[in-house]
Amino acid sequence: MWTANASSSWLAGFTVCLSLIVSIGAQNLYVLRQAVSGRHVRACVAWCVASDALLIAIGVAGMAQLLGGSPALAHWLSLGGALFLLSYGLFAWWRVWAAPDAQVDASAGGMAEPSLLGVLGTLAVLTLANPHVYLDTVVLVGSIGARQDGALKWVFVVGAASASLVWFAALALAGRRLQGVFANPLAWRALDALTGAMMLALAGWMWPGVALPG
């Protein structure tokens, strides 16, 4: 039977997860790019929701405490995350200035359509090779969920997964509505410029946290 405590745990998972994922990041921008181009959008949404739910569940199950109790591991995660974001930001800016329009415009007819495996492979790298996702999803959200009593921990995970589903479905819908705007290659260059700026800003924000623990 659904109780007030279950509702509270679900709402906590929903709000905490939504507050973290509603931002401009590498994963979100890639999903937006796929939504604008209309390529494998449902698979992208399914991957993002499933990976968020799995990472949060791992955190709730105890990984958050393990990572939180290891300053050295937290240092290397911060360092790896900063370098990842720096590289991604610089590559986005490279596309702004150096990529030809055929590479910038994802709706161009001359582009070879990426396979489902290729799209999910890229998305998996952007998700799992970014250490910042572990600091947010596993450590922060997982540690909050771990404080729930008994089976309410998993109600929290369901709430968090629901937030992920709502966000990525909204992102996919927004991308579809913006297809007309992104028919112009200049719109892609603007998006890449914004992506680069955000990734470099996040890298700078993370950098003070990479100092080795004393």
Give 118-136 pLDDT, tens digit per residue. 889 888 888 887 777 777 7
Query: pLDDT value at position 18?
Result: 84
- Within 8 A by CB and 6+ apart from 79, the residues are 210
Calculate mean pLDDT across residues 172-177: 89
Q: Band the pLDDT of 149: cuts 50, 70, 90.
A: confident
Which 3 state secondary structure label does DSSP give 68? helix
| Cα angle, residue 180 at apex, residues 174 and 185 outer, rounded to 5° | 105
Which 3 state secondary structure label does DSSP give 155? helix
Closest CA to 146 of 130, 160, 163: 160
pLDDT of 169 > 90? The answer is yes
Listed ranges 6-15, 127-136, 184-193; the one with the highest mean pLDDT: 6-15
Query: pLDDT value at position 173?
Result: 93
Query: pLDDT value at position 107?
Result: 44
Residues 114, 39 contacting (CB under 8 angstroms) = yes
Calculate mean pLDDT across residues 148-159: 88
Instruction: Concatenate the DSSP letters of all residues of 111-123 into one string.
Output: SPPPPHHHHHHHH
Tokens of 68: 């939180």
Q: Band the pLDDT of 109: cuts 50, 70, 90.
A: very low
Query: pLDDT value at position 2?
Result: 64
Mean residue pLDDT of the chain comes to 79
User: What residue type is assigned to position 209 of the chain?
Assistant: G
Query: pLDDT value at position 108?
Result: 40
**Cα–Cα distance between 102 and 87 in angstroms, integer?**
22
What are the C-alpha distances in Å from 133 to residues 14, 31, 164, 165? 17, 16, 14, 17
More confident residue, 176 or 109: 176
CA dihedral for 54, 58, 61, 64, sign (positive or negative): negative
Predicted TM-score of the model (pTM): 0.71
Q: Band the pLDDT of 70: cuts 50, 70, 90.
A: low
Q: Which residue has the tokens 């495996």?
A: 117
pLDDT of 22 > 80? The answer is no
CB atoms within 10 A of CB 147: 12
What are the C-alpha distances in Å from 159 to residues 8, 55, 134, 154, 166? 10, 14, 19, 9, 11
Query: pLDDT value at position 53?
Result: 92
